[in-house]
Amino acid sequence: MPEKKERWSEFLLKEFELLRNELDESVKEARAIERYALVTTGAIWSWVVAQTEETTIYQPLVWLPAILVLFFAFRALGLSVHVRDIGKHLAEIEQAFHLPEDLGWEQLYEKKYHGTPKRISVYVFWAGLLIATIAIPFLFR
């Protein structure tokens, strides 16, 4: 039985390491998506504003940022859920090693904040950007 527990411990440690890396990469990807959304939106609006002639050909382009932001936000939401799930599983692994509640980061973060501050900032960012991409085209009318 001690040999089996040792193998489980090795497995959990390796899983913890792999999941921690996946969590880090997912967070990096989510931040990159935020940058892509801002740059893409800004580039499209800059191009539209730079057009001196008002033509109906360019008018539909002012709605393109809103559509793109919806796609980017959908991907970012998926990553946010993925990161949350990994964090919960990492907290379970920490508990399996009987760490004190204040020692493992995922346990501590979940206990203290319930993941709220980071999740709220993600939702506020995407909601704000989406509202802007919907409101700004009305300025081009």
Helix (H, G, I), strand (E, B), or coil: what is residue 53?
A: coil
**Confidence at 1, pLDDT banded by 50, 70, 90:** low
Specify the pLDDT at position 115: 58
Closest CA to 118 of 23, 16, 13, 11: 23
Closest CA to 40 of 11, 75, 15, 64: 64
Distance of CA 136 to the CA centre of its chain: 24
Mean pLDDT over 90-119 rounds to 74
Q: Cα–Cα distance between 30 and 23 in angstroms, integer?
A: 11
Max Cα–Cα distance, the chain, nearest Å: 79
Mean pLDDT over 24-50 rounds to 92
Contact 22, 86 (CB under 8 A): yes
Pick the residue with more confidence: 56 or 139?
Answer: 139
Task: Please check the confidence at residue 133 and state whether its pLDDT lies above 60.
Answer: yes
Six-digit token pair at 100?
Answer: 């004190």
Domain span including residue 21:
2-140
Task: Please check the confidence at residue 56 and state whether its pLDDT lies above 70.
Answer: no
pLDDT tens by residue, 97-109:
887 767 777 777 7
Specify the pLDDT at position 127: 95
Pick the residue with more confidence: 74 or 114?
Answer: 74
Q: Cα–Cα distance between 63 and 10 in angstroms, integer?
A: 52
Q: Cα–Cα distance between 141 and 69 in angstroms, integer?
A: 21
- The total of structural domains in the chain comes to 1
